[in-house]
Amino acid sequence: MTTLSLGVSLLPAVRSIPMTFAAGEYILYIFCIAVGAMGNISTLLSGAPTYFIYVAIVLFGSFILHALLCAIFKIDVDTMLIVSTSAICSPPFVGVVAVAIKARRLIVPGITTGIIGYAAGNYLGIALAQLLHRIGG
């Protein structure tokens, strides 16, 4: 499905569909509201504090690592924020962050890096699963 989706995204007919950004933002807001409405903070904090702490460490650790690498390679702050959002939160949130920091020019590169990450992750995950299956039987 990943390969098919990436291939279809290159078709001019798909790329020229009007109002895709506005429609995508609207759908993203609906998604965020739906997911947020399902959450129950008391259950999260009482039932799974270990997972909460683990996720916090992973998220902040990823962001700090990303910030350090961007500092080493002298990547500007706007690009770092957009690509971090793409990697940590997922590509749909790039538009929201780009509009908030007034860097709409980075929407396409941010979404692209996230999609490339998804694709690479899918293929690396399949390869790792195959490797572990062969090792473990």
Domain range list for the chain: 16-136
Give pLDDT, residue 50.
80
Half-sphere exposure for 106 (CA within 13 Å, toward CB): 23
Neighbouring C-beta atoms of residue 52, cutoff 10 Å: 13
pLDDT tens, 29-67? Answer: 898 889 888 888 787 777 677 877 888 899 999 999 999
- Contact between 66 and 87 (Cβ < 8 Å): yes
Give pLDDT, residue 46.
78
Give pLDDT, residue 92.
84
Q: Residue 40, by phi and psi: left (phi above 0), alpha (psi -120 to 50) or beta?
A: beta
Tokens of 36: 């947020």
- Contact between 110 and 136 (Cβ < 8 Å): no
Give pLDDT, residue 15.
82
- Contact between 98 and 106 (Cβ < 8 Å): yes
**Which residue, among 112, 69, 108, has the nearest Cα to 87 in the 3D structure?**
112
Give pLDDT, residue 130.
95
- Contacts by residues 30-37 (CB-CB < 8 Å, ≥ 24 positions apart): 31/92
Give the predicted TM-score (pTM) of the model.
0.66
Give pLDDT, residue 61.
93
**Which residue, among 84, 116, 88, has the nearest Cα to 98 in the 3D structure?**
84
Q: Which residues of the chain have pLDDT under 70?
A: 2, 47, 137
